[in-house]
Homo-oligomer: A and B are copies of this chain.
Amino acid sequence: MTTRQSQPGSRSKGRVTLSDVARMSGVSAMTVSRALNEPQRVSEQVRERVEQAIDALGYIPNRAARSLAGNRSHTIAVVIPSVSNAVFNNVIRGIYDVCAPAGYEMLMGNTYYSVQQESSLISKFLTHHPDGMIVTGLDMADSTRRQLEAAAIPLVQIMEVGTSAPLDMSVGISHSDAGAAMARYMLERGYKRIGVLGAQMDYRSQRRIQGFIDVLAEAGLADDKRVLTTAEPSTVRLGGQLLADLLLANPDLDAVFCCNDDLAYGAIYECQRRHIRVPQQLAIAGFNDLEGSACINPSLTSIQTPLYDIGKTAAQMLMRRLAGEVLQQSVVDLGFRLQARDSA
């Protein structure tokens, strides 16, 4: 049980540095640096000797030193509500697929749907001096807004567009339009007594539901008693519970819009337990179209959002800006698709 450490928090010594590699390969430190970062700018033979020395010494570059000297961190900070939300996995993959090949690292953090957590996370991230940043949503604390403005780095706000102007750039969809589309679909199908379930009521869920309700209101079918929301995190269990509560107050419902698919799964399970036939007795729809939504019985009608493309586009915009380009379109709406299935 050795201590496996060489004096943390003291002046190092003993660690292999660029100069060690330089000495071993008989060139200057600067040349080794170039061999690593711009290999095309050094001769073939030097590159080989440097590579051999790196292997022989087990050299590991020090990013802190690189960032400090280069005044550039090669890092993109990504702020999302929660990695445990399957929705963001695809977004993250999209970002990753652009950032990694471009030599950028991703610094990722969760706000857990809290504005305070978002603020402190962004403050923390700014100490890394990221070269760019991707943040979920258009709403944020004023102090955070000011910090981001002061940081003066390219910023993309993702997931939604349209509610207000972004601080810098934005990519997403209109959640109120998506909610409205689902409402119109349900009206077309002839549903009259339509309920709404919401949890984890972040701004985007609120807008989905608002868009949905506005359309119902136009048709004269809105009813506050049929809307049940909670700030609790969305879970499958909660979906069942909320549906039970909603049916207690409104036994005559013929359709329910759930503001995300997890709630919808719970609602479907609850119907199964109560022997309520979906969609014949009660139609159910979700939002996000997760992987399992096509498999559940009955398969779930949902709104498919271009998650991967949101991430990819956001990262691409960042990369272009980091390359010095000036973008004419700073707001990109990628649209959505209503995926009609058996449940509604």
Q: Determine the distance from Cα of A82 to Cα of B269 in the docked complex, in whole angstroms.
A: 28
Determine, out of A21-29, A62-70, A251-259, the stretch whose residues face the partner at the interface: A62-70
Range for the number of chain A residues in contact with chain B: 35 or more
Can you pick out 28 interface pairs between chain A and chain B where the beta carbons lie within 8 Å of each other?
Answer: A1-B330, A4-B152, A4-B153, A4-B155, A4-B321, A7-B71, A8-B131, A8-B322, A9-B72, A60-B126, A60-B147, A62-B68, A63-B64, A63-B129, A64-B64, A64-B128, A65-B68, A68-B68, A84-B89, A235-B292, A236-B291, A236-B292, A237-B294, A237-B295, A265-B295, A269-B295, A269-B297, A272-B297
Tell whether A105 is near chain B: CB-to-CB under 8 Å. yes
Tell whether A273 is near chain B: CB-to-CB under 8 Å. yes
Determine how close the nearest CB of chain B comes to the CB of A339; give it in whole angstroms. Answer: 15
On whether A58 and B269 interact (CB within 8 A), knowing A5-B154, A8-B72, A152-B4, the answer reads no
A83-117 residues with Cβ-Cβ distance < 8 A to B are 83-84, 86, 89, 92, 105, 107-108
When the two chains form their complex, are residues A62 and B8 in contact, meaning their CB atoms are under 8 A apart?
A: no
When the two chains form their complex, are residues B273 and A4 in contact, meaning their CB atoms are under 8 A apart?
A: no
When the two chains form their complex, are residues B322 and A297 in contact, meaning their CB atoms are under 8 A apart?
A: no
Tell whether A150 is near chain B: CB-to-CB under 8 Å. yes
When the two chains form their complex, are residues A62 and B269 in contact, meaning their CB atoms are under 8 A apart?
A: no
On whether A4 and B168 interact (CB within 8 A), knowing A62-B129, A150-B58, A294-B237, the answer reads yes
Tell whether A164 is near chain B: CB-to-CB under 8 Å. no
Q: Determine the distance from Cα of A155 to Cα of B124 in the docked complex, in whole angstroms.
A: 25
A105 in complex: contacting residue of B63, B124, B295, CB < 8 Å? B124
Q: Determine the distance from Cα of A294 to Cα of B175 in the docked complex, in whole angstroms.
A: 31
A228-269 residues with Cβ-Cβ distance < 8 A to B are 235-237, 240, 262, 265-266, 269
When the two chains form their complex, are residues B292 and A273 in contact, meaning their CB atoms are under 8 A apart?
A: no
When the two chains form their complex, are residues A147 and B330 in contact, meaning their CB atoms are under 8 A apart?
A: no
Tell whether A10 is near chain B: CB-to-CB under 8 Å. yes
